[in-house]
Amino acid sequence: MRKKVKRNKWIKFRHRIIFAILRPIFWFFLRIRYGFRYQKYRLPKGPAIILFNHSTNLDPFMVCMSIPGPVYFIATDDIFSVRLLSPLIRYLVAPISKSKAINDIQTIMESLRIVKEGGRIALSPEGNRTFTGELCYVNKAIVKFVRLLKIPLVIHNIIGGFGVHPRFSPHLRKGRMDGFVRKIIMPDEYLDLSDNELYELIIENLSVDELVTGRKYKSKKRAEKMESLFYVCPVCKMISTLYSKENHCYCRHCGLTVEYTEEMTLKSTNPNFTFKTIREWYLFQREFILAIDVESVGTMFSDVNVILKKVIKNKIKKKCLSGRLLINQSVLTVENQNVRKEYPLKLIDSIAILGQNKINFYINNEIYQLKSNKSFNGLKYMHFYHIVRMRRQGVKDEFLGI
């Protein structure tokens, strides 16, 4: 008779010790570096699912300040492909791997395993750091995931993250951040709700508005690398003409000058620039790209000095080539004098932005990453891909709010 193989537990005693040791170290670092303050909350014993809004790369550490004990985070597979560091992360805190922007059955199975062992899991249902300070699109699949687990639902808010470290910038500002548990919803409260009601409840409690706090975020480089977020000048409508220096963003073509203030607002002496917030400019940019006739354009975007890597999941990132990146209505291309690699858009399952401006795209069960300098705008490639996907493949694309 074959013996049953006993599977090792995901939850280890060392995780409790490691979290206890690291928590005061990160509290000191986050307070000094990010101006972070938190409210401690003791959850009932047993499993829970924690959802949080995603404003900085260090949000998971901030969530852990409010909630004692080990928390197992669903994290992008990018952190599992860093030589030497990835095995250490897996050993110390055992995060759950998730491919950005695509469904991952393995993620669900590992989450169920942790819940069965009595552990708490956490994730940002946006799956993306905010580009504008407001909540990004949240896939409605989060409702099915919550219902599947049938455990207490904890909503955690982080306020001030976009002020201290907006996604477009490599520079931190001096200001204040806060982290706290906003709401706890027990299974008997949410299981009777309709899918739409539960979805709206999650969105309502995850949403934060940093502009109403009246806080200031000080830096001498407030607007630098804003061109990694914006690729359309709202005055002359030219593409890829923006650049930034210190507290201002400029257009090379029409001479537009925009100041990004300490209050996170936009100011310009140009009467044709009417936006007061980054959100308004972002929405204009989205509408601009939505109006593009993809059938009539040739090469829509291109950039030089881009590095293409193949991501070997849970292992390494292998460099393929460096050169020029191009996208048109049918293909994404990376080329140099010696090599040309083409990836048909119809075969790409998804494109996502990681960190400030890295691009991950998923094709034929493989993951590739595109990376350049801090001024590189990866967002325009992702936006154009979604427009083509919607127009040519007849796919309703909720990612763009359609």
Per-residue pLDDT tens over the stretch 117-156: 999 999 999 888 999 999 988 989 999 999 999 999 999 9
Average pLDDT, integer, range 239-262: 97
Average pLDDT, integer, range 287-295: 88
**What per-residue confidence (pLDDT) applies to 35?**
95
Q: Greatest CA separation found in the chain?
A: 82
Give the chain's mean pLDDT.
90
* Euclidean distance between CA atoms 73 and 60, whole angstroms: 7
Average pLDDT, integer, range 60-89: 84
Going by pLDDT thresholds of 50, 70 and 90, the confidence category of residue 296 is: confident
- The pLDDT tens digits of the residues spanning 99-121 come to 755 567 888 999 999 999 999 99
Residue type at 208? V
* Euclidean distance between CA atoms 229 and 379, whole angstroms: 7
Least confident of 70-84, 177-191, 352-366, 380-394: 70-84
* Euclidean distance between CA atoms 357 and 131, whole angstroms: 11
- The pLDDT tens digits of the residues spanning 359-402 come to 999 998 899 999 999 999 999 999 999 998 888 766 655 555 43
Question: Rounded to the nearest 5°, which phi and psi values hold at 258?
Answer: -130, 130
Question: Rounded to the nearest 5°, which phi and psi values hold at 366?
Answer: -120, 155
CA distances to 2, 118, 165, 384 from 224, in Å: 63, 45, 12, 24
- The pLDDT tens digits of the residues spanning 23-42 come to 999 999 999 999 999 999 98
- Sheet containing strand 36-38, edge to edge, reads 36-38, 177-185, 153-159, 48-52, 120-123, 72-76, 96-98
Question: What's the pTM value of the predicted model, to 2 decimals?
Answer: 0.90
| CB-based contact 375:356 (threshold 8 Å) | no
**What per-residue confidence (pLDDT) applies to 145?**
95
- The pLDDT tens digits of the residues spanning 314-358 come to 667 889 999 999 999 999 999 999 999 999 999 998 898 988 999
Domains along the chain with CATH numbers: 13-210 (no CATH), 226-290 (no CATH), 301-400 (2.30.29.30)
